[in-house]
Structure 1
C-alpha cells in the first residue's frame, strides 16, 4: 500500500508519519503545498491512500483535484468540523481532527483497510466546497444546554459557558459563575452544535469561548496557554498543530 501526506506544517507531517510507522504503514512522500502536490501528481504514480490537510499554505487542497484527476482514497486531517465535511462529496474514508489522536488514526486506517479499495472517480463540487470553507453554512447552533443536578435539570445558556472539557471519560462545561456541570454528550457530538465564531477546539480536551478569554500567553514547544475569567481547574493549552487556526479564529 502506497501512502502520502499532504500537509503544510512540516512538524505535523513528521508526527503523522511517525504515528503511521507505528501502524506499520510507510509514508513514501510528504508534500507541503498545492503547487508542489500538483507537480508531483503529474509526474508520479498516484498512491493508494492520501492523508490530506484542507488548508495549505498556498490555498485549499481541493485545488489539487481541480488540476489533476486523482482516484486515491483520502483521509482528511483537518481543523474543520464534522457538519462541513459531510458536504464534501469526495472519495473520503474518514477525517481526523487535529491534533491527531493515535487511537483515532488507527481506527481510520482500519476502516480504510476494510473498505472496497478499488479506484473510484472523485465527485467534487468545488464551488460548494469553497463556499462552505469561506462562509460556513448558515444554521442554528445550540443556545442552551441542560445538565442534571440531583433530580433537577439545570439550564445553562451558551454565552454563560467559558469552556467545555473532557475528564475521566466525562464531558463537562464550566460556567462564568465558576460552576462545572457534567453533560450527557461528548466533545465530538458538540462539534456540530457549537457556534464556530464563539467556540474553538484548542485541543482534544477543550473547547473555549472567545468571550471568556482573559489572557493568552506563549507556552513551550510553540504552543499557547489560554487563561479564562473563572475556570482554573486545568491548564488550557492550544496544541501546536492548532495554533495557526486559533490565531485566525481570534481575528
Structure 2
C-alpha cells in the first residue's frame, strides 16, 4: 500500500507517521503545503491512500484538487469540522478530528482496506489451524507470568493481573496493587494464552480482566470507558467495533 501524509504541522505529521507504523502502514513521504503537494502530484505516481490535513500553511487542501486530478483514497485528519460535507464529496474514506485518536485511526484504515480489498482471502498459519482444532474447554490457559525485576524473576498469578496494555512498542501487565511490569510478548499472542471468560481485548491497546472492572461510562462515538480498580495511567476505551461483543462478554 502506497501512502503519503499531507500535513503542515511537522510534529503532527511525525506523530501520525508513528501511529500508522504501529498499524503496519508505512509512509516516507510527507508534504506540508498546497504548493508542495501540487508539484509532487505532477511529478509522481499518485498513492493508494492520502492522509490529508485541510488547513495547510498556504491555504486549504481542497485547492490541490482544483489543480490536479487525484483518484487516491483520502482520510482527512484535521482540527476543523466545518469542512466535513465538502470533504465527503471527494474520494473520502473518513474524517478524523485532531488530536487523532489511535482507535479511530485504526477503524479508518480498516474501512479503506475493506473498500479496496473486500474479498481478500484469509490465510492461516500452522498455529492458527492448531488453535482452531483445539476444543476451548480443553485448552490450558496461562496461570502465571514471570517478569524480570532487576536481576530477579518474579512470578505473578493470573488472578493478580488487572490488565495487559501496549505502550511505546512494549507490552506490560498491571497488577491489582497498581504495579506495572514489562513482558516479552505481544497483545496478539496474549489473546490466545488468556482464559476468554476472564480476559477481553477491548482495543488495540488493552486486554482487561473482568474482575478488575470498577465502572463503565458512555464515551464519545458510541464507545465505552472502563474504570479499573488500580490501573489509572491512561484511559481504557472499548473500541467502537468491539462494544457489542464486549457487552455480550460481560453477560
How high is the TM-score relative to the length of structure 2? 0.52
Q: How does 1:67-216 map to 2 (within 5 A)?
A: 73-74=121-122, 86-87=131-132, 136-216=136-216
Which residue in 2 is equivalent to 1:249? Answer: 249
**Consecutive unaligned residues in structure 1, runs of 5 or more:** 1-11, 28-48, 51-72, 77-81, 89-127
Residues 14-52 of structure 1: CA deviation (Å, up to 9, x unaligned) = 87342455xxx365xxxxxxxxxxxxxxxxxxxxx35xx
Q: 1:74 to 1:150 in 2, by over 3 A?
A: closer
Residues 47-103 of structure 1: CA deviation (Å, up to 9, x unaligned) = xx35xxxxxxxxxxxxxxxxxxxxxx3469xxxxx8588427xxxxxxxxxxxxxxx
Q: CA RMSD in A?
A: 2.7
* Structure 1 position 239 matched with structure 2 position 201: no
Partners of 1:162 and 1:208 within 8 A in 2: yes
Q: How many residues are aligned here?
A: 144
Could you tell me how far apart the structure 1 residues matched to 2:194 and 2:131 are? 16
Could you tell me how far apart the structure 2 residues matched to 1:26 and 1:184 are? 33
Q: 1:142 to 1:19 in 2, by over 3 A?
A: same
**Offset of 1:186 from its aligned partner?**
1.1
Larger radius of gyration: 2
Per the alignment, in what secondary structure is the counterpart of residue 230 of structure 1? coil
Could you tell me how far apart the structure 2 residues matched to 1:85 and 1:14 are? 32
**Consecutive unaligned residues in structure 2, runs of 5 or more:** 1-105
Partners of 1:164 and 1:206 within 8 A in 2: yes
Which residue in 2 is equivalent to 1:116? Answer: none
How high is the TM-score relative to the length of structure 1? 0.52
